[in-house]
């Protein structure tokens, strides 16, 4: 029996797939404009473990993890420069060179961490036509509007029939009060409406023809499109980091419901964040720590718990290590080889993780010289 904490219902539920013996799982992958960091690893490891365990239980699993290579603008908003396009402009190369480089790096990192590859890894840029078709459905159903060549989702109209904010717990009244108007967003009916399709501005590198304008899809649209394209209009699990809960996943629910007339996802799962000195780790924040053999480091802490690094200069290594200290609220436990050997030998061996020495499970270790504490909050 498997229990899953469902972010949508805010409670732990017994997992029951929509189709017995088959599981469809979609996980939001990286935006490939830079190297992956520990935060990316935490999400990847969380859902890699879930994927392995579902297979271990005998389910036939289709695991889809996307690559975002277009439409993700700075600050996760509907204004500003495309993150990949900006990197390409600064390096004076093609955007798809940036995409290929960092997709290759990401795959190499995942291999170093012992990740299984997803069954399908679709790229947003490879599904432009499908995204346009999805936007057309939402327009035809009356939950979007065109303005000056861009197409926006009408959040207020959607909220009259459905509930925008059901995943994140946010209320539309609060969004009306707190949402600020960004530059170039005056054409929206409301500042909290979000783009399904954006008309390109001068100098925007990545763009495609559409019925509305030469432009590009909004960031949120790709996941609604690719998840239902490969898993069907209803599927079991949608995963991602806690930072994607709002607005990205909230907008996904709204888009899919507006286009299809029903919600697509049964179980929403979100791993918590890794923070550096209390701040979320992120490439755009300039505080990211790149991946460096951290599989056991991640697995020691439950995916729903926030992981705070108090000494970011310390890097983890499996090979030059001796001990780790974890703080679980007010109690402390030192992990020893015996703890790991007693912890599900058959299951952990089935994951293909490192064993050291052969036949014995390797403990989670840190360099004894490093005074680093990992805290669960």
* 262: pLDDT strictly greater than 60: yes
The pLDDT value given to residue 24: 98
Strand partners, 223: none
Confidence at 368, pLDDT banded by 50, 70, 90: very low
The pLDDT value given to residue 306: 67
- Mean pLDDT of the region 356-364: 34
pTM comes to 0.79
d(CA 33, CA 206) in angstroms, rounded, equals 14
The pLDDT value given to residue 365: 32
Domains in the chain: ranges and CATH = 19-271 (3.40.50.620), 277-377 (no CATH)
**pLDDT tens for residues 52-63?**
999 999 999 999
Q: Which helix (H) or strand (E) holds 156?
A: helix 155-161
**pLDDT tens for residues 263-302?**
999 999 999 988 877 777 776 777 776 674 454 455 556 7
Q: Which residues of 145-179 are buried (b: 16+ CB within 10 A; e: fewer)?
A: bbeeebbbbbbebbbeeeebbebeebebeebeeee
């Amino acid at each position: 029996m498997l229990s899953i904490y469902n972010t949508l219902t805010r409670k732990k539920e017994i997992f029951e797939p929509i189709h017995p013996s088959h599981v469809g799982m979609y996980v939001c992958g990286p935006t490939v404009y830079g190297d992956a960091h520990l935060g990316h690893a935490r999400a990847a490891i969380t859902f890699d473990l879930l994927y392995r365990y579902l297979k271990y239980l005998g389910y036939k699993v289709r695991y889809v993890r996307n690559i975002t290579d277009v439409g993700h603008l700075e600050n996760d908003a509907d204004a500003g420069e495309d993150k990949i396009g900006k990197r390409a402009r600064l390096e004076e190369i093609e955007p798809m060179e940036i995409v290929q480089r960092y997709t290759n790096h990401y795959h190499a990192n995942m291999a170093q961490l012992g990740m299984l590859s997803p069954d399908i890894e679709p790229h947003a840029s490879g599904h432009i036509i499908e995204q346009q078709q999805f936007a057309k459905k939402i327009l035809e159903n009356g939950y979007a509007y065109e303005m000056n060549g861009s197409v926006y989702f009408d959040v207020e109209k959607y909220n009259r029939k459905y509930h925008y904010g059901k995943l994140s717990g946010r209320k539309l009244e609060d969004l009306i009060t707190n949402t600020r108007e960004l530059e170039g967003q005056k054409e929206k009916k409301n500042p909290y409406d979000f783009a399904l399709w954006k008309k390109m501005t001068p100098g925007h590198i990545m763009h495609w023809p559409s019925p509305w304008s030469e432009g590009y899809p909004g960031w949120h649209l790709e996941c609604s499109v690719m998840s239902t394209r490969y898993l069907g209009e209803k599927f079991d699990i949608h995963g991602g980091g806690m930072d994607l809960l709002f607005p990205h996943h909230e907008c996904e629910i709204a888009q899919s419901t507006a286009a299809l007339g029903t919600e697509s996802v049964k179980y929403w799962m979100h791993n918590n964040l890794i923070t550096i000195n209390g701040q979320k780790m992120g490439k755009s924040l300039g505080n990211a720590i790149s991946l460096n053999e951290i599989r056991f480091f991640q697995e020691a802490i439950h995916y729903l718990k926030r992981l705070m690094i108090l000494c970011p200069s310390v890097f983890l290594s499996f090979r030059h290590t001796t001990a780790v200290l974890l703080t679980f609220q007010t109690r402390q436990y030192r992990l020893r080889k015996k703890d790991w050997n007693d912890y599900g030998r058959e299951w952990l061996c089935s994951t293909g993780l490192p064993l050291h020495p052969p036949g014995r499970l390797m403990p989670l270790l840190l360099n004894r010289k490093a005074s680093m504490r990992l805290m669960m909050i």
